[in-house]
Chain A
Amino acid sequence: MQKSLLIDPDKCTSCLQCEMACSFEHEGVFNPARSRIKIFEFEHGKRAVPYTCTQCAEAWCLHACPVEALVRNKTTGAVEVRDEICVGCKVCTIACPFGTVNYNPDSGKVIKCDLCGGDPQCAAACPTEAITYVDSAWTGYERMQAWAVKTDTKAATA
């Protein structure tokens, strides 16, 4: 069974342990500015929402890439960036309607969630289970993707 990140914003305390775990896993440094998952806070701290790539089926980022630097990992289902191929053109960053592919000016390449190869560190670090990694079937994955479908530019089969 494929697994997905399940996000429950109501449980998020905005501690940013996930951002640190993510940046440490990918960059070897505690650096929220380079995290693939981001916490957004609003309404004076009343609401906090963890936000990252849903590895959507549409994969606008992957299809928009001119040099095949984005590929889907068949085991985890994650769309991963191949750093050695990415030229840093940023087309994927504007193509992703969720804004979850970001340009990293330090490396000149883009970064996005890759589910840490199947052991997402954000979920491991989350102290409140606001982020969990569970079988896709229970995540309401389809619900999350319902939003994605609204952005669709291709699928309206008549």
Chain B
Amino acid sequence: MDYVIVGAGPAGVIAAETLAGLEPGADITLVSGEPEPPYSRMAIPYLLAEDIAEEGTHLRHTAGHYDARGIRVVHERVARLDPAARTLAFEGGGSRTYGKLLLATGAAPVRPPIPGMDLAKVKSCWTLADARQIIAGTKPGDRVVLMGAGFIGCIILEALVARKVKLTVIEMADRMVARMMDKTGGDMIGDWCRGQGVDVMTATRVTGIEEKVDGSLSLSLEGKEPVAADLVVCATGVRSNIGFLEGSGIDTGQGVLIDNYMATNLPDIYAAGDVAQGLDFSTGGHDVHAIQPTASEHGRVAARNMAGHRTAYRGSLVMNTLNTLGLISTSYGLWDGAEGGDEVVSLDRENARYLRLSFQGDVLVGALALGLTQHVGVLRGLIQTKVPLGKWKKVLQDDPHQIMTVYLACVQDATRRRAA
């Protein structure tokens, strides 16, 4: 079979590797839209912070990794898909046919429609190329404004502080990381950042950016004094890369719509990762989860289905973890509460510790934590196995930090029941 995978991020690479494992000798082509070896965006902040070199961002580290598996990596950007002809047209002019196709084109940053976003000193931080420009363009003491305090913004934030710039964060929402933290948690992260010398402005809208004669930038804000900067890094969100699918007949919403077998509405075309709008474990609906674990799971399950091993996807659980200047935050599933459910909260604002668990009946369906670094994963275990907590729910209601105890008690009880 002639497999073509468009996109060389985690979903694409894992799909290629899975296919190679399931069907040795298959013809597998991995189309990368960037001129680098396949790399991880997740690692870019650590490159910016100079914790790692560029090689440290690469998804695979063994020389000849792709060749050894019969995976051909080509560097092209896809311009168009013609499903009837089973053909991809490249921006550079060439084209290629496929037997089965995986769309793993990921997402790209969205820039707000305001004047000045095209100035040279306004950067995104999404690709290795972006990272190189930011590294070259900042030195300690520079005034840097980070637009957007979402997940991506926050991981870049850490890196920018490590570069010793004078940082201001401007976020439209009423709190930081609004898509993974409730108001309490988001505010605590904001306070934590302020405590470490970062100027954080939430509920603040940038209306435009202009370059002054001295080369510096000025950001106009709605209802507030302008802010000066030497560099602006824009991290105001991302959107699935589906533009090239226009006119192809593929069903799209926020991303490419896929069924529980990762297939699109068109034959032999599948989608995975940030571009795919797949099954959500918690809601049962379909959503784009632009997160690493989902990309990795999508990649594997899509490949299995492409190779003919019909495998149902059970849905991805939203999960995020973030280190904001040493404060670790995590959220899972229905972290902001479930309809008709109940919850328990433990809050110690002074010591930046916060834990909120959401239940539906006696099943854990969501969790949100600040300052929790040990055994965090059991929250996933409890949510995704939908294990009935029974009498142990009361223990969590009395002290949600007993999560490990409750987890183990449930595991043990289940094991004993099985043995009996």
The reply to whether A66 and B375 form a contact with Cβ atoms under 8 Å apart is: no
Q: Which residues of B contact A150 (CB under 8 A)?
A: 385, 387
Given A97-B378, A152-B314, A156-B314, A91–B42 Cβ distance below 8 Å?
yes
Q: Is B300 an interface residue when CB atoms closer than 8 A count as contact?
A: yes
Bound Cα distance A147, B385 (Å): 9
| A82-102 interface code vs B (CB 8 A; 1 in, 0 out) | 000101111101111111111
Q: Is A68 an interface residue when CB atoms closer than 8 A count as contact?
A: yes
Q: Which residues of A contact B311 (CB under 8 A)?
A: 154-158
Q: Which residues of A contact B309 (CB under 8 A)?
A: 157
Q: Which residues of B contact A153 (CB under 8 A)?
A: 281, 297, 301, 313-317, 384
Given A63-B296, A143-B418, A68–B59 Cβ distance below 8 Å?
yes
Q: Which residues of A contact B301 (CB under 8 A)?
A: 153-154
The reply to whether B320 and A94 form a contact with Cβ atoms under 8 Å apart is: yes
- Select B319's contact among A95, A101, A103, beta carbons within 8 Å: A95
The reply to whether A93 and B56 form a contact with Cβ atoms under 8 Å apart is: no
Whose C-beta in chain B lies nearest to the C-beta of A89?
B42
The reply to whether A96 and B51 form a contact with Cβ atoms under 8 Å apart is: no
User: Which residues of B from 91 to 112 have beta carbons under 8 Å from A?
Assistant: none
Q: Is A138 an interface residue when CB atoms closer than 8 A count as contact?
A: no
- Select A49's contact among B43, B60, B321, B408, beta carbons within 8 Å: B408
Q: Which residues of B contact A63 (CB under 8 A)?
A: 14, 293, 296-297, 300
- Select B321's contact among A60, A94, A158, beta carbons within 8 Å: A94
Q: Is B57 an interface residue when CB atoms closer than 8 A count as contact?
A: yes
The reply to whether B59 and A66 form a contact with Cβ atoms under 8 Å apart is: yes
Given A66-B10, A85-B61, A154-B304, A91–B380 Cβ distance below 8 Å?
no
Whose C-beta in chain B lies nearest to the C-beta of A60?
B293
Contact size class for B? 35 or more
Bound Cα distance A146, B415 (Å): 9
Nearest Cβ on chain A to B318's Cβ, whole angstroms: 10
Q: Is A105 an interface residue when CB atoms closer than 8 A count as contact?
A: yes
Nearest Cβ on chain B to A111's Cβ, whole angstroms: 10
The reply to whether A156 and B374 form a contact with Cβ atoms under 8 Å apart is: no
Whose C-beta in chain A lies nearest to the C-beta of B404?
A40
Q: Is A134 an interface residue when CB atoms closer than 8 A count as contact?
A: no
Nearest Cβ on chain B to A45's Cβ, whole angstroms: 12
Q: Which residues of A contact B192 (CB under 8 A)?
A: none
The reply to whether B312 and A103 form a contact with Cβ atoms under 8 Å apart is: no
Q: Which residues of B contact A152 (CB under 8 A)?
A: 314
Q: Is A9 an interface residue when CB atoms closer than 8 A count as contact?
A: yes
The reply to whether A94 and B384 form a contact with Cβ atoms under 8 Å apart is: no
Whose C-beta in chain A lies nearest to the C-beta of B409?
A42
Q: Which residues of A contact B380 (CB under 8 A)?
A: 94-97, 151
Whose C-beta in chain B lies nearest to the C-beta of A152?
B314
Bound Cα distance A99, B380 (Å): 8
Q: Which residues of B contact A15 (CB under 8 A)?
A: none
The reply to whether A40 and B405 form a contact with Cβ atoms under 8 Å apart is: yes
Q: Is A51 an interface residue when CB atoms closer than 8 A count as contact?
A: yes
| A112-147 interface code vs B (CB 8 A; 1 in, 0 out) | 000000000000000000000000000000010011
Q: Is A57 an interface residue when CB atoms closer than 8 A count as contact?
A: no
Bound Cα distance A94, B43 (Å): 17
Q: Is A29 an interface residue when CB atoms closer than 8 A count as contact?
A: no
Q: Is B87 an interface residue when CB atoms closer than 8 A count as contact?
A: no
Nearest Cβ on chain B to A80's Cβ, whole angstroms: 14
Q: Which residues of A contact B402 (CB under 8 A)?
A: 42
The reply to whether B415 and A95 form a contact with Cβ atoms under 8 Å apart is: no
Q: Is B66 an interface residue when CB atoms closer than 8 A count as contact?
A: no
The reply to whether B330 and A100 form a contact with Cβ atoms under 8 Å apart is: no
User: Which residues of A from 60 to 74 have beta carbons under 8 Å from B?
Assistant: 60, 63-64, 66-68
- Select A146's contact among B14, B312, B379, B418, beta carbons within 8 Å: B418
Using a CB–CB distance below 8 Å, which chain B residues touch chain A?
Answer: 10, 14, 40-43, 46, 51-52, 56-61, 281, 292-293, 296-297, 300-301, 304, 309-317, 319-321, 323, 326, 328, 330, 332, 373-381, 384-385, 387, 402, 404-405, 407-409, 411-412, 414-415, 418-419
What are 26 A-B contacts defined by CB distance under 8 Å? A38-B375, A40-B408, A47-B412, A51-B404, A60-B293, A63-B293, A64-B296, A66-B43, A67-B40, A87-B43, A87-B51, A87-B56, A88-B46, A89-B43, A89-B321, A90-B321, A94-B321, A94-B379, A99-B376, A99-B377, A100-B377, A150-B385, A151-B384, A153-B301, A153-B315, A158-B310
